[in-house]
Amino acid sequence: MAYLTLKDINKIYPNGFHAVHDFNLEAEKGEFIVFVGPSGCGKSTTLRMIAGLEDISKGEFLINGEVANQWGPRQREVAMVFQSYALYPNMTVYDNLAFGLSLQGVDEDVIDERVQKTAKILGLTDYLDRMPRALSGGQRQRVAVGRSIIRKVGVFLMDEPLSNLDAKQRVTMRSEITQIHRETGATTIYVTHDQTEAMTMADRIVVMKDGYVQQIGTPRDVYFNPVNMFVAGFIGEPPMNFIRRKVEKGCIQVGEHSLDLSLKLGDKIAEYEGKEIIFGFRPEAIVLGDQENAYIISGTVELTEMLGDNANVYMDVDEDKSILKVTPHEIPAMDSYISFSIPVESVYLFDAETEKVI
Ligand code: ATP
């Protein structure tokens, strides 16, 4: 049985705004689930409903098979880490970690053991006597995470816990949180708008947009089998390229090349005759030059960005913008006219009307 079940969960705020629509999810015990999506898509609202900080307007929420809609946060046995981590400024790191347990009346010995263990997991052992103001942002964030993991809870809820850190600290904390999750084995729900965090940390990703779940799947699923243009464009960096064209005689014309879509769709392409279709491919899926069993496209190089281990090439393709990812040795000259190939299996076609993958 799933540990957390969300059945057709909806949130309608008192002002009438419908922030979350029919959210369904079954999270297994120990799973690391990431909610990802642009600002305002309802991630935090859903997390707060799971935490018991926000009423569920409609739908059923179960913990271990029991309906928990009316349970308070404590009864739900959840711990939450917020974006803005409020540490007690006048308490040492040790006391910040110990505070919640002291309130619960836990024995001093037990508290000490748990503080030491938590500090060890988070690399805070040398800082236990320090005040928060004498810590770096990353260290403070670790104390904030420590305060939630020190309690033995069934579920960790994390709302953009890394958003106040710089890029380097984020990468470090990302792997630390994954490590902590492995050690504690607690079911975790993690909210972020950063697709890289989602891809690197999640067992399963829930992609949201405008209050609706778009897709739930493993990082591989959402990357290789996106259900629609939104997921295809949101997951992956740089994002997937899209070219919109009208289908004529089973083909689309992109600059000098006529691309035969029956190679990808077979007879099904007939349904799209005379209609617009979206041709999608990832920047990293291309090979420079002309290849067999591939769609060949040509365009003009507008800008190149050397990133070290790879480079981005910004192209004008028949007045559409596309980005290609190449190795540093392949960077083409500015303003040159080049061809590249996309293996047929790496092309995604979307219905231009529904934006769903075909
Ligand atoms: P972000 O990444 O910016 O935190 P989010 O995906 O977490 O975004 P939510 O905070 O869940 O989004 O908000 C979802 C929508 O609900 C937004 O449009 C927001 O303006 C709206 N909203 C949030 N709280 C309330 C409220 N108390 N009353 C009315 N509308 C609200």
Phi-psi region of 130 (alpha: psi -120 to 50; beta: other; left: phi over 0): beta
Handedness of CA 268, 273, 276, 282 (dihedral sign): positive
Handedness of CA 14, 16, 20, 22 (dihedral sign): positive
More confident residue, 161 or 67: 67
Q: Residue 11 CA to chain centroid, in angstroms? A: 21
Residue in 17, 66, 41, 32 with CA at minimum distance from that of residue 211: 41
Q: At what angle do helices 167-184 and 108-122 cross, to 10 degrees?
A: 130
Distance 45 CA to ligand 1 centre (A): 6
Residue 345 confidence (pLDDT):
95
| pLDDT > 70? residue 14 | yes
More confident residue, 77 or 50: 50
Residue 85 confidence (pLDDT):
67
Which domains are assigned to the chain? Answer: 4-234 (3.40.50.300), 241-351 (2.40.50.100)
| pLDDT > 90? residue 47 | yes
Rounded average pLDDT over 6-15 = 97
Residue 40 binned pLDDT confidence (cut-offs 50, 70, 90) = very high
CA-nearest residue, atom 5 of ligand 1: 40
Rounded average pLDDT over 167-179 = 83
* Residue 140: DSSP 8-state: H
Strands 320-326, 257-260: pairing kind? unpaired
Rounded average pLDDT over 159-163 = 84
pLDDT, tens only, 138-155: 788 888 888 888 877 788
pLDDT, tens only, 298-310: 999 999 999 999 9
The answer to whether the CB of 168 falls within 8 A of the CB of 181 is: no
CA-nearest residue, atom 2 of ligand 1: 39
Percentage of the chain surpassing pLDDT 90? Answer: 73
Rounded average pLDDT over 184-188 = 87
Q: Please give the Cα distance from 192 to 294 (Å, whole number).
A: 36
Residue 182 confidence (pLDDT):
85
More confident residue, 177 or 169: 177
Distance 43 CA to ligand 1 centre (A): 8
Single-letter code of the amino acid located at 209 = K
Q: Please give the Cα distance from 251 to 265 (Å, whole number).
A: 11
Ligand 1 pocket check for 17: Cβ under 6 Å: yes
CA-nearest residue, atom 22 of ligand 1: 19
pLDDT, tens only, 225-270: 999 999 999 999 999 999 999 999 999 999 999 999 999 999 999 9
Ligand 1 pocket check for 148: Cβ under 6 Å: no
Residue 83 confidence (pLDDT):
66
Half-sphere exposure of 148 (CA within 13 A, CB side): 25
Residue 84 confidence (pLDDT):
63
Residue 184 confidence (pLDDT):
80
Residue 202 confidence (pLDDT):
95
- Quick one: the chain helix, strand, coil %, rounded to 5? 30, 35, 35
The structure tokens listed for 248 are 């004529």
Ligand 1 pocket check for 35: Cβ under 6 Å: no
Ligand 1 pocket check for 13: Cβ under 6 Å: yes
The answer to whether the CB of 316 falls within 8 A of the CB of 244 is: no
Percentage of the chain surpassing pLDDT 70? Answer: 99
Residue 349 binned pLDDT confidence (cut-offs 50, 70, 90) = very high
Residue 336 binned pLDDT confidence (cut-offs 50, 70, 90) = very high
Q: Which of 12, 21, 44, 47 to mutate to test the pocket of ligand 1 (most atoms within 8 A of CB)?
A: 44
Residue 73 binned pLDDT confidence (cut-offs 50, 70, 90) = confident
Q: Which of 13, 36, 159, 213 to mutate to test the pocket of ligand 1 (most atoms within 8 A of CB)?
A: 13
| pLDDT > 80? residue 164 | no
